[in-house]
Structure 1
Amino acid sequence: MTVDTLSPAQATALDLALAIGENAAFDGWTPAAVEAAALSEGVDPALAMLTIPDGAVGLIDLYGQGVDKALAEALPPETLAAMKIRERIRSLVWTRLQIQEPAKEAIRRALAILAMPQNAPAAARLSWRSADVMWRMAGDTATDYNHYTKRAILSAVYGSTLLAWLQDDSDGNADTAAFLDRRIDNVMQFEKWKAGLGKAERPSVTRFLGRLRYPPR
């Protein structure tokens, strides 16, 4: 679904998404955060309550959609087209983190909610969607085996970088930037290695994802 095909109610909810995340840092992923976001954005709170999804996971999902929208606005196709693929992926991940900076504490709460066993399917779906959005913005059109490996790898890169970012108190998140650069270097090395293999042999994606999630110190 694109922004152009949204119903008025969906558009209203999406317009409130980032503000909901920012208020969730204080009120949690609750109706209170929705009401505060509506008031800050000049929307009738009663109307906002009718447009937003139910439950904490629904609000987290909506926030992720708002981040996707803001990311597309921050990095339009003509901007990304001028970059090499490594720079595109780095810019997409880094800009995504910057967009979420005002909601950093809420992101921490969101990850705790998504870590609950009953929310595992939603967590996997949201992680995959984030990676898929970034790859599509980067210009990826693969539909074969590479479609899945690229998204699985980027999910691991983004997930591990997100955790590093949540713990980062360095100036300008410099430690996170360095961490992200190392993870992307790993990916580029993996891609070169994969390109050099014969068609009959495929690299161990599972082993590589483990290295990305639990990199050596």
Structure 2
Amino acid sequence: MTDTPRGMDSITQELLDAAVIHVPFDGWSEAAFRAAVADSGVDPALARAACPRGAADLAVAFHLRGDDEMVRRLAETDLSEMRFRDRVALAVRYRLDAVDDKEAVRRGATLFALPLHAAEGSRLVWGTADRIWTALGDSSEDVNWYTKRASLAAVYGATVLYWLGDESPDHAETSAFLDRRIGDVMQVEKVKAQVNKSPLLKPFMLGPNWLARQIRPPQGPKRKGGLPGALHARMTGRT
């Protein structure tokens, strides 16, 4: 009987559990992958079927596991009395708190900085931003879907790098850094709102705003390459 995709995911998680103790010493490397196979007792052929790229696939699974934990914590938290910027900051903190070992993240950052894996690293960070906005109920239907995620991805990436070097109690300095970065983004949004309300400047934004409304977020669960999305049919002339 062949393993189902769900079974393969279970094997990946088993391998990941076994790999994390080796990653601080060996990185997300072939040595760490082989050690995980040996420690877990998973058949080597099944391990390769579940993770064709070896440790690189485990590094991806490690990142996604952190995203899952963040979403779980958000779902269990009452956010109703919080300002929206505070909800975003809390989500990022939950994502950082989901990590048990900084060194595994540091090694992952090294892996995804390599040209071979850089694009996937960017997609993972974008995916984290997407899951935060989705968990917080974002309902954007135009270019704002992209700008929100792009801004948060930049904030998240910078915060992770700061966090990796932060040795302050309870990562207080990271929290302050995160608050400043979110404040910078909110200031940009405030300026945009003021421009759109200004009788003098608003006419100059009619064209850009119209174009922005034609851009749509991705449709369906599958996305193929790049930043997904589409121009509205009224502009493209297609249905």
Q: TM-score, normalised by structure 2?
A: 0.70
Match of 1:183 in 2: 181
CA distance in structure 2 between the aligned counterparts of 1:19 and 1:193, rounded to whole angstroms: 49
Contact 1:53-1:62 at 8 Å conserved across structures: no
1:158 to partner: Cα distance: 0.5
User: Superposition pairs for residues 114-153 of structure 1, below 5 Å?
Assistant: 114-153=112-151
Write the letter of the residue equivalent to 2:68: K
Query: 147-156 or 46-55, which moves further after superposition?
Result: 46-55
Distance 1:185 1:22, change over 3 A: farther
Matched, 1:89 2:88: yes
Query: 185-194 or 148-157, which moves further after superposition?
Result: 185-194
Q: Deviations over 1:145-171 (max 9, x none)?
A: 101111110011001111110111111
Write the letter of the residue equivalent to 1:92: A
Higher relative contact order (CA 8 A, sep 6+): 1
Distance 1:96 1:38, change over 3 A: farther
Contact 1:19-1:37 at 8 Å conserved across structures: yes
1:178 to partner: Cα distance: 0.9
Write the letter of the residue equivalent to 1:172: D
Contact 2:29-2:56 at 8 Å conserved across structures: no
CA distance in structure 2 between the aligned counterparts of 1:22 and 1:158, rounded to whole angstroms: 25
CA distance in structure 2 between the aligned counterparts of 1:168 and 1:109, rounded to whole angstroms: 16
| Greater C-alpha Rg | 2
CA distance in structure 1 between the aligned counterparts of 2:76 and 2:193, rounded to whole angstroms: 26
Percentage of matched positions with identical amino acids: 38
* Unpaired stretches in structure 2, ≥5 consecutive residues: 197-201, 210-239
Match of 2:111 in 1: 113
1:132 to partner: Cα distance: 0.7
Q: TM-score, normalised by structure 1?
A: 0.76
CA distance in structure 1 between the aligned counterparts of 2:17 and 2:192, rounded to whole angstroms: 38
CA distance in structure 1 between the aligned counterparts of 2:155 and 2:20, rounded to whole angstroms: 22
